[in-house]
Amino acid sequence: MRFLLTLLLLVSSFAIAQTTPCFSFEENDFVLSGSATIIDDNTVRLTQASGNQSGFVWSQNLVNFEQNFNLEAEIYLGSQNAGADGIAFVIQAISNNEGSLGGGIGYAGISPSLAIEFDTWWNSGSDPTQDDHVALIANGEPWEMSAHSAYIPYVSVSNLEDGQWHPILITWDGTDKILSLTLDGVSIFSTTLDIPTLFFNGNPDLYWGFTAATGGANNLQQVRILEFCSVDSSCNTAPPTADSPQSFCSSVILQELQINGEYIRFYAEQTGTTVLDETTEIINNTTIYITQTIDDCESQDLVAVEISIENPTIYSNSFEILYCQNNSATVNLFDASNVFTSPNFSGFFNSVADAESFTNGINNTTDFGVISENQMVFGRIEDNVCYEVYPIVLVSENCDISIPQGISPNKDGFNDIFDIQNLYDIYLNHSLKIYNRYGDCIFEGDNTTKWDGRTKNGNLVPVGTYFYLLRLNNDSNDVYTGWVYCNY
């Protein structure tokens, strides 16, 4: 199973970088032979504490050593000091190779190969020291004393057969060809060594694993493979494809991005260092990097996806709708502005928060009901990616009808029409009749027609007193009567 990525590779372009995927131990990813047995989720017993055993665990997949390789493991070399013979980490070209047992530590004779041996038994004439020691040995030659220091001087270590697990970290820099080892958290060596060229005739596709052996003396010897980061040589998954940039309003969850690919993995940087959970919320303009994984093979190229975050526009200037308390007619929110007839209009809300989250929309938009004091509502209009919110103030006023007592239709701009206040566009169905002193109806008006001092024939009326009859035709059937004086 794959999990956190801990290695990074240099990148060659802005949009694409490469990553080294990491794995925890899974039985199916390894080939076991000899006395090797799986003990639990990540522990392989290489030999029991008995004589003349050899055990092997090899990677199932060819690893590309042009790429980085990183291995975190623990080795257990038994509890009998002066037991035998040790464990070796080995890179080689055949997945089920078995070397000789005893002092061969299971890798003697495997050639070509490169081994890091953890040797717990002194073989007189072959080993350069009676100490437990670490040595880097090529082509399966532990019997050669000189081979122990051919590339780096062998390193004596304190007793490894102490009944303890010993953490090791092996790193391979595939670009600069640097092989490094730490044991118990201490650096043992770090050396430049072109492994494919020096030992494998330029072939970078290699297996890796652990060997161990016992002979006349013995020890329980085990390895725990905790995490390894490597590129499978047969892995050639193409990178995913995605539009870039992708724009979102306010924020986006990574899994909502439009991406063509399987098992998308998200990285924070071009270097593929930090994996981002798919539920990560992005709230600012950001570039993230993605791979896809098909059949356990993660694409090596990281594809950049620019995320553009736009924010909604919340206007502070408000529209107003005058609402008359003494009018039983109700407010039509669409009267606030023509902007709400836009095809992108999406709703009215009681608060900015509701408008932003698109919840608790107002249903009775054309019949908002009676209000007794000023009230604010909010209209929302969608734009390409985001939206705009417009405040609307419903102004509640007492707007009693006010009827002037004079009219002077002389076109001087003053009182040229009989302009009754708080009538027009409020009492839409009203009717107005004007009578002369003889009781003749000389004018009939409605919401669209005001009296301008003319009779039905179009002639201006003489100076004098006229009478009006105003029916509001509202629910309470209000009627107003009185006189108006016409002068010029």
Residues that bind Ca ion (CB under 5 A): 81, 103, 119-121, 123, 127, 132, 159, 161
Q: Kindly state the smallest distance separating residue 156's Cβ from Ca ion, in Å.
A: 11
Question: Is residue 227 within 8 Å of 72, Cβ to Cβ?
Answer: yes
Q: Kindly state the smallest distance separating residue 114's Cβ from Ca ion, in Å.
A: 15
CA distances from 170 to 24, 56, 72, 107, 125 (A): 15, 18, 7, 18, 29
Question: Which residue's CB is nearer to Ca ion, number 105 or number 307?
Answer: 105
Q: Kindly state the smallest distance separating residue 54's Cβ from Ca ion, in Å.
A: 14
Tokens of 220: 């329980």
CA distances from 118 to 210, 224, 323 (A): 11, 15, 90
Q: Nearest to residue 239, comparing CAs of 17, 66, 1?
A: 17
Question: Which residue's CB is nearer to Ca ion, number 103 or number 174?
Answer: 103
Q: Kindly state the smallest distance separating residue 84's Cβ from Ca ion, in Å.
A: 7
Q: Kindly state the smallest distance separating residue 251's Cβ from Ca ion, in Å.
A: 59
Question: Nearest residue to Ca ion, using CB?
Answer: 119
Q: Kindly state the smallest distance separating residue 179's Cβ from Ca ion, in Å.
A: 18
Question: From the DSSP assignment, how many helices (H) and strands (E) are in the chain?
Answer: 2, 38
Question: Is residue 289 within 8 Å of 267, Cβ to Cβ?
Answer: yes
Q: How far apart are CA 140 and CA 143, in angstroms?
A: 9
Question: Which residue's CB is nearer to Ca ion, number 148 or number 380?
Answer: 148
Question: Which residue's CB is nearer to Ca ion, number 128 or number 167?
Answer: 128
Q: Kindly state the smallest distance separating residue 106's Cβ from Ca ion, in Å.
A: 12
Tokens of 103: 């002092």
Question: Which DSSP string do the residues of 13-69 spell out, in sequence order?
Answer: SSSEEEEEEEE---GGGEEEEET-EE-SSSEEEEE-SSSS-EEEEEESSPEETTS-E
Cα torsion through 315, 320, 325, 326, rounded to 10? -160
Question: Is residue 89 within 8 Å of 107, Cβ to Cβ?
Answer: no
Q: Kindly state the smallest distance separating residue 157's Cβ from Ca ion, in Å.
A: 9
Q: How far apart are CA 184 and CA 89, in angstroms?
A: 16
Q: How far apart are CA 177 and CA 192, in angstroms?
A: 6
Question: Which residue's CB is nearer to Ca ion, number 28 or number 158?
Answer: 158
Q: Kindly state the smallest distance separating residue 148's Cβ from Ca ion, in Å.
A: 6
Question: Which residue's CB is nearer to Ca ion, number 8 or number 136?
Answer: 136
Question: Which residue's CB is nearer to Ca ion, number 98 or number 119?
Answer: 119
Question: Which residue's CB is nearer to Ca ion, number 81 or number 325?
Answer: 81
Cβ count within 10 A of residue 4: 11
Question: Which residue's CB is nearer to Ca ion, number 72 or number 119?
Answer: 119
